[in-house]
Amino acid sequence: MTNSMHEASLLAGYDGGSPREPRPIVIIGAGGIVRDAHLPAYAKAGFPVWGIVDIARDKAQALADQYRIRHVFAAVEDAVAEAPADAVYDLALMPEHVPDALEALPEGSAVLIQKPLGHSLARAIALRDQCRRRGLVAAVNTQLRFAPYIAEARRLIAAGEIGEVYDFDLRVSVETPWHMFPQVFGQERLEFTMHSVHYMDLARSFFGDPDGVSAVTVRHPEKPDIATTRSSVIMRYRDRPLRVVIGTNHDHDFGPRHEESFVKWEGTRGAIRARMGLLMAYPDGVPDALEIARHGEREWTPIPFEGSWFPDAFIGSMGVLQRFVAGEIPELPTSVDDVVHTMAVVEAAYRSDEIEGVVPRVDGDQ
């Protein structure tokens, strides 16, 4: 295993630690992701939620009543006027609403921005620059990095348990009920920006920035009101014998028997496979699983872990920001400065799709 291997260094933010003295959280947005993930995660971790904001104040009030949140607002400016000076702002908003919310925050405050960081690389850069201009300590909620099975796999890989990783295969073939996400209808971009961004970001968090990206993303022939829903992405690492492949199919509506949702790392000493159960039979999901196989044994052994992507990964993404702000860790792995590189990978994937690959020709073809 060479020292140049990005995944061999376990950053402090990935060590599973929690902030010693959690700061009060102001959640901006009261949609389904807040109900299903943010609030359950913070309750489980003991992170104090000071207030919640939504233009539809009734939605915010309903969640506040459920989680005993004392302060409810219809405008970000009103929340900021009353919030504690050390509050951390949690923006659970669609990308188009993030700039106005960032502008309303106190200069120098800490903020967690929901993924994706804009609908395009240009918007991501603009958001990064806005955060810099206002002195914000800004992170992006790339929570899959902190899913419990990912965290355990990361620790094992960094410890050299499967040797040098030479293959990363992430595959999702499920029936996604798009009617549960009405905000995606009419979006020009969908699969890369709203879903596979998780997977490209995850690969980056293990292997660093790729040297090239090849990709295709396509629509379903009978769903004209939904943008692309099936994709293939190859992330190329020029100086390594490493294959990184991401394949997604959200249109597999043929029953659960052959649904797939997994991440697999293969290395010179063994392999690790994680089943992402949340996405299968959605929204009910199936149990997650994590297994390891070692060369020569030809058997897979379960690896114990606790929790799941929802809600536990959201503890990690908020916790790492709070630990950095408190000076408990020296770097913020999910900073906007880092995640803008994920958006560069997403943009490269869309560009690759537009180019449509290399045309096969036989000598003499016109």
pTM over 0.85: yes
Could you tell me if 146 and 317 are in contact, meaning their C-beta atoms sit under 8 angstroms apart? yes
Residue 33 has pLDDT above 80, yes or no: yes
212: Cβ contacts below 8 Å, ≥ 6 apart: 235, 236, 238, 348
Structure tokens at 304: 């114990």
In angstroms, the CA 152 to CA 11 distance is: 13
The CATH architecture annotation of domain 145-309 reads 2-Layer Sandwich (3.30)
What's residue 366's pLDDT? 63
HSE-up of residue 124 (Cα within 13 Å, Cβ side): 24
CA 83 to chain centre: 28
Structural domain boundaries of the chain? 6-144+313-335, 145-309
Total residues belonging to the chain = 366
Structure tokens at 212: 């090239």
What's residue 360's pLDDT? 92
Residue 214 three-state SS: strand
Residue 342 has pLDDT above 80, yes or no: yes
Q: pLDDT tier at 2 (50, 70, 90 boundaries)?
A: very low
The mean per-residue pLDDT over the stretch 144-164 comes to 98
43-49 long-range contacts, Cβ below 8 Å, gap at least 24? 43/67, 44/311, 44/312, 44/315, 45/18, 45/315, 45/318, 45/319, 46/22, 47/22, 47/315, 47/318, 47/319, 47/322, 48/22, 48/23, 48/24, 49/24, 49/25
The CATH architecture annotation of domain 6-144+313-335 reads 3-Layer(aba) Sandwich (3.40)
Q: Which amino acid does the sequence have at 94?
A: M
In angstroms, the CA 319 to CA 303 distance is: 24
The mean per-residue pLDDT over the stretch 32-57 comes to 97
Strands (E) located in 21-69? 25-28, 49-53
Instruction: Express as a percent the part of the chain with pLDDT over 70.
Output: 98
Q: pLDDT tier at 114 (50, 70, 90 boundaries)?
A: very high
In angstroms, the CA 347 to CA 353 distance is: 10
Segment 79-109, tens digit of pLDDT: 999 999 999 999 999 999 999 999 999 999 9
CA angle (221, 223, 226) in 5-degree steps:
120
Q: pLDDT tier at 284 (50, 70, 90 boundaries)?
A: confident
Report the range of poorest mean pLDDT among 77-81, 188-192, 286-290.
Answer: 188-192
Q: Which amino acid does the sequence have at 166?
A: Y
Q: Angle, nearest 10°, between helix axes 197-207 and 148-158?
A: 20
The mean per-residue pLDDT over the stretch 69-82 comes to 98
HSE-up of residue 138 (Cα within 13 Å, Cβ side): 30
What's residue 283's pLDDT? 84
Q: pLDDT tier at 179 (50, 70, 90 boundaries)?
A: confident
What's residue 3's pLDDT? 40
CA gyration radius for the chain?
21
What's residue 4's pLDDT? 66
177 preceded by a cis bond (ω within 30 of 0): no
Structure tokens at 254: 């043929």
What's residue 5's pLDDT? 84
Number of other CB atoms surrounding residue 295 within 10 Å: 12
355-358 long-range contacts, Cβ below 8 Å, gap at least 24? 356/216, 357/214, 357/216
Residue 332 has pLDDT above 70, yes or no: yes
Instruction: Express as a percent the part of the chain with pLDDT over 90.
Output: 90
HSE-up of residue 336 (Cα within 13 Å, Cβ side): 24
